[in-house]
Chains A and B, each alone.
Chain A
């Protein structure tokens, strides 16, 4: 009985999620001025041939700082959890 209920709930949830996923407008808006600006002015403004890196480290540098902070806090948390199990060093 439990298994049947679980299966029904799983199928229901799968259907709901699939319904939502199908209705999502994917790839729209297909054109935005931001892409065009990065492609046209990225090289002369940042001097980087790799526009992805130019966006990540120059235009959106603040987000990258947050990303680095996430890694830092992950390491600090790991050290906090495992601190009693190490000896010396």
Chain B
């Protein structure tokens, strides 16, 4: 049994918009409400939508368990690596070593309310991206494991 053509087509059309919205929340985490966890959860809902509308065996490309495992572990490693890199430049663990340096993500901001600039906040956008990738991979992986159980049970296949 598979879901109707309406559901599958709607999921196909909605998927890129959900991805874009989630990536917006992740990348603008240091300017607007949101951040890595929230944006990653939004992207994971897109993956789960595809998993519900289609069967897991029908999905190809980057929505496989192997890639999600790599995303999850890689995101966590990038997060810890960014924090550890502060030790190399003479700071402490989780020191914000990119802020106010004038290089990448290092533009100083003025005090008070201002429109915001995306290349600010030092390591915070990098960590947001890392956590976003990790949450995306983790939540999708949890659903994939449970859906795999559902398919093997013969209830949907």
Question: Which A positions have Cβ atoms within 8 angstroms of B?
Answer: 43-50, 52-54, 56-58, 61-62, 64-65, 67-69, 71-72, 74-75, 78-79, 82, 85-87, 89
Least CB distance, A68 to chain B, in whole angstroms:
6
Question: Which B positions have Cβ atoms within 8 angstroms of A?
Answer: 29-33, 35-37, 64-66, 72, 76, 79-80, 83, 93-94, 96, 99-100, 105-112, 114, 116, 120-124, 127-128, 131, 134-135, 138, 141-142, 145-146, 148-149, 152-153
* Cβ-defined partner of B108 (8 Å) among A44, A61, A67: A44
Known contacts A44-B108, A44-B111, A74-B142: A54-B30 contact under CB 8 Å: yes
B116 surroundings in chain A (CB, below 8 A): 49
User: Can you report 18 A-B residue pairs in the complex whose CB atoms are below 8 A from each other?
Assistant: A43-B112, A44-B100, A45-B99, A47-B109, A47-B124, A48-B121, A49-B30, A50-B29, A50-B33, A53-B29, A54-B124, A58-B124, A68-B76, A71-B134, A79-B145, A82-B145, A86-B145, A87-B152
Top 7 A-B residue pairs of the complex, sorted by shortest distance between their CB atoms? A61-B94, A48-B121, A48-B30, A82-B145, A86-B148, A47-B120, A47-B99
Least CB distance, A70 to chain B, in whole angstroms:
10
Check B65–A89 contact: CB distance below 8 A.
yes
4 additional A-B pairs beyond A47-B120, A86-B148, beta carbons within 8 Å, are A54-B30, A65-B94, A67-B37, A69-B76
A72 to B83 CA separation, bound complex (whole angstroms)? 17
A62 surroundings in chain B (CB, below 8 A): 93-94
Known contacts A53-B35, A89-B66: A71-B124 contact under CB 8 Å: no
* Cβ-defined partner of A68 (8 Å) among B29, B32, B79, B111: B79
A64 to B96 CA separation, bound complex (whole angstroms)? 14
Least CB distance, A31 to chain B, in whole angstroms:
21
A79 surroundings in chain B (CB, below 8 A): 141, 145
Closest to A40 in B: B111
A29 to B135 CA separation, bound complex (whole angstroms)? 34
B76 surroundings in chain A (CB, below 8 A): 68-69, 72
B141 surroundings in chain A (CB, below 8 A): 75, 78-79
A77 to B21 CA separation, bound complex (whole angstroms)? 29
Known contacts A45-B96, A48-B30: A68-B149 contact under CB 8 Å: no
